[in-house]
C-alpha cells in the first residue's frame, strides 16, 4: 500500500453526503478503485447496535467485492463517519480492523465542520495517509 491516494471529488462528496444523512449515527461503506485511486464508494448498511459504532453488513461487503471484480476493480478499503469526534481512528476502529492492506477513510462532522482523513491500520496502529481529491 502506498502512502498517497487519489479520490474522485464526486466520490468524496457522496461519502460526506452519506455521513450527513446518517448522522447522528455512523455511516459505513466500501471504497472501490484500482491501485491508489478511489473511483467509487458503495454504501453499506450499518448493523451496529450503537450509533457510535459501525459494522458493515457482510452481504453489502460481498456484493461490493463481486461488483468491483466484475469490472476489473477492487475494494481498496472502507469508509465510515465520526459524527461527534475527529477524523482519526478510534481505539475500536484500530482494534477491529481486519484487513491490513485496506485503507480507511473517516469523515468527521464534529462541531458542524467536515473533515476527512485516510489511514492504514495494521498491527494495532494507524498511519495517516495522503488523500488528494481529483
Q: What is the pLDDT of residues 102-124, one digit of tens each?
A: 999 999 999 999 999 999 999 99
Composition of the chain by helix, strand, coil, percent to 5: 25, 40, 35
The pLDDT of residue 77 is: 97
Q: Write out the residue range of the structural domain in which residue 25 sits.
A: 4-133
Domains in the chain, number: 1
Does residue 33 contact residue 64 with C-beta atoms inside 8 Å?
no
**Three-state SS letters, 15-41:** HHHHHHHHCCCCCEEEEEEECCEEEEE
Whether this model's pTM surpasses 0.85: yes
Determine the average pLDDT of the residues in 22-39. 97
CATH number, residue 113: 3.40.140.10
Amino acid at each position: 500500500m502506498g502512502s498517497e491516494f487519489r479520490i474522485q471529488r464526486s466520490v468524496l462528496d457522496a461519502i460526506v453526503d452519506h455521513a450527513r444523512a446518517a448522522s447522528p449515527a455512523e455511516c459505513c461503506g466500501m471504497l472501490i478503485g484500482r491501485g491508489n485511486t478511489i473511483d467509487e464508494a458503495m454504501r453499506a448498511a450499518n448493523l451496529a447496535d450503537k450509533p457510535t459504532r459501525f459494522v458493515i453488513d457482510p452481504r453489502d461487503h460481498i456484493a461490493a467485492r463481486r461488483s468491483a471484480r466484475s469490472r476489473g476493480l477492487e475494494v481498496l478499503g472502507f469508509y465510515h463517519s465520526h459524527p461527534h469526534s475527529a477524523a482519526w481512528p478510534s481505539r475500536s476502529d484500530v482494534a477491529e480492523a481486519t484487513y491490513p492492506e485496506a485503507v480507511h477513510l473517516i469523515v468527521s462532522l464534529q462541531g458542524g465542520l467536515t473533515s476527512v482523513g485516510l489511514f492504514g491500520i495494521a498491527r494495532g496502529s494507524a498511519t495517516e495517509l495522503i488523500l488528494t481529491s481529483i
